[in-house]
Structure formats: C-alpha cells, structure tokens
Amino acid sequence: MYIGFIGDIVGRPGRKIIKENLKNLKDEFNIDFVIANGENASHGFGLTIKNCDELLKSGIDIITGGNHSFDKRADMEALLKSPNVLRPDNYPQGVSGTGLAIKELINGEKIAVLNLMGIYGMPTTENPFNWATKRIEELHAQNIKNIIIDFHAEATSEKRVMMMMFKSQVSAIFGTHTHVGTDDLTICEDTAYLSDIGLTGCRDNVIGMDSHVPIKKATTGLGGHFDVPNNCKSILQMVVTQIENEKAIDAFKIKLYDDGQRVITKAFCEK
C-alpha cells in the first residue's frame, strides 16, 4: 500500500493547492491513504469545522495537529469527536480528543496513525518518547504494526531520537511543525523517516506567513499578528511511502509548485 503524508497546511493557499492537486496525485501514484497536519489550516492558526470539511473532501483521510490545535477552541472540541481529526496524543489527561487513530483499508489491512508533540519550545505534554513506547507496545499487542507517527516538534534532535528509538518497530516517522523541509528522507531498518516534511502553502514569504511582521520582529524586537497572504506563490509537499508486510520498502517526496513544476526525491535506503 501507498501512504501519503502532507506537511503543515498553512491557510487558504495550502488548502487551495491541495484541493486543486491532491486527487490527481492520488491517482497518479496509487496512494491508498493520506494523512496531513492541519493545525495551521485556518488562516495559519488552528482548524475550523468548515476548513476541516474542505480538506477531507479534497482527499485527506486523517488530519493531525500540534501546538496550534486548540487555537479555534470551540471548533476543535467539536472536531475531536470525529475519528478523522487528531491532536497530539501526549497532551495531559483531561484534554479533549485523542492522538491515535486505527483505520481499516479497503484491502483489510489496518493502519495506525499516532500524533505526538515534542518538548522543546512546546506546550506542556507528557514525555513523547515514553508515551510512544507505551502506545507502540499496545498496538503491537493488537497485532497492528502498520504505524505512522507524526512527530510535531521544534528540535530536529528530538525527531532523530524518536527515529533511533523506534526504527524497525513502526512503518514511518515524519516530523512536522517547523514548516521548513529537511533533506534527510531515509529508510532505516524498514522505517521511513524525515525530520520535517515542510509546509504546504505560501513559499515566497516566511514559514507561510506574510513577511512584514517577521521582518519587523527580527529587526526591532517588536512582534505582531502573523498573517497568511491571500495571494502568493505556493507549494504542496508530501511524502509517499510504500509499505509491504508492515515494512517501508520505498519512499519519495513530492514538491509540487503552483506553476506546475515539481521535484521528486527518492529516499536513501540505509543498509
């Protein structure tokens, strides 16, 4: 089976390029299931019910979250009742929703999506590494080994630790949050790994946001409200992983630009 994972969707430009291209990409690359991080999908901060419905109708199967999951609090409380919307699983006890979804595909195979959040620079959570150990043990006890982890974290070192701990135990570990794609797509001991997929949205500003406020903050120390431009040059970034017998056997990243250009990079396979 082929699993697609889209990086952080940022605002209307991200939703638009997905709506215009995802279904064709699924057909072209025989993608069976699509995961996407949607915590920035509604004007850069959180996710509304309306925008969630738009993304699911565009061909996304599971929407994961992160530190902005609850920016649209009322909408998110309602969305988390859906089995298709996750928030980081290691939020403390008492937070609505879950970060684990188990789905059965058309061919009868089961796939688990586990959403976790890192420690550095993030809201208070349970330790993601210990939490992942517990969750993976539970899934293996249910004979579920097709496991995809969205690790929403600031530090690449934390993401690398996650890979070193759980390679060969899960099918894929993909980082989100920084909005900047990294160049380390690998398959290591049957696990696909990428430190950060990168954003889907505006590519000609600062992490998907209009550049004026980030420049002002960088030069004067005075911040402001980050805003997503309505018009910009955009990009869709997605990793596609081929999984057989619960092992990643191939992976590649697609960078699709709004002008039709695209770059496809294959994973390096560690021997």
Contact present, 163 and 188 (Cβ < 8 Å): yes
**In the chain, helix, strand, coil percent, each to 5?**
25, 30, 45
Q: Which domain holds residue 174?
A: 2-202+233-269
Q: Is residue 207 part of a domain?
A: no
Read out DSSP for 87-141? --TTSPTT-SS-SEEEEE-TTS-EEEEEEEE-STTS-----HHHHHHHHHHHHHH
**Interatomic CA distance for residues 213 and 22, integer angstroms:** 31
On average, the pLDDT of the chain sits at 96
Contact present, 172 and 242 (Cβ < 8 Å): no
**Interatomic CA distance for residues 178 and 10, integer angstroms:** 12
Number of domains composing the chain: 1
Question: Once rounded to an integer, what is the mean pLDDT over residues 62-78?
Answer: 97
Q: Is residue 217 part of a domain?
A: no
Report the CATH number at residue 245.
Answer: 3.60.21.10
What secondary structure letter does DSSP report for 267? Answer: P
Amino acid at 211: S
- Order of strands, edge to edge, in the sheet holding 191-194? 100-104, 110-117, 147-152, 172-176, 191-194, 186-188, 268-269
Please list the active-site residues.
Answer: 68
Q: Is residue 224 part of a domain?
A: no
Q: Is the pTM of this model over 0.75?
A: yes
pLDDT of residue 148 exceeding 90 = yes
Closest CA to 58 of 90, 89, 25, 81: 25
90 C-beta neighbours (distance < 10 Å), count: 24
Q: Is 249 exposed, middle or buried (0-12, 13-18, 19+ CB in 10 A)?
A: middle
Q: pLDDT digit string (tens) for 77-103?
A: 999 999 999 999 999 999 999 999 999
Q: Is residue 219 part of a domain?
A: no
Q: Is residue 227 part of a domain?
A: no
Q: Is residue 222 part of a domain?
A: no
Contact present, 189 and 210 (Cβ < 8 Å): no
Q: Is residue 225 part of a domain?
A: no
Q: Is residue 84 part of a domain?
A: yes
Question: Once rounded to an integer, what is the mean pLDDT over residues 117-130?
Answer: 97
Question: Once rounded to an integer, what is the mean pLDDT over residues 16-29?
Answer: 98
Name the more confident of 3 and 109: 3
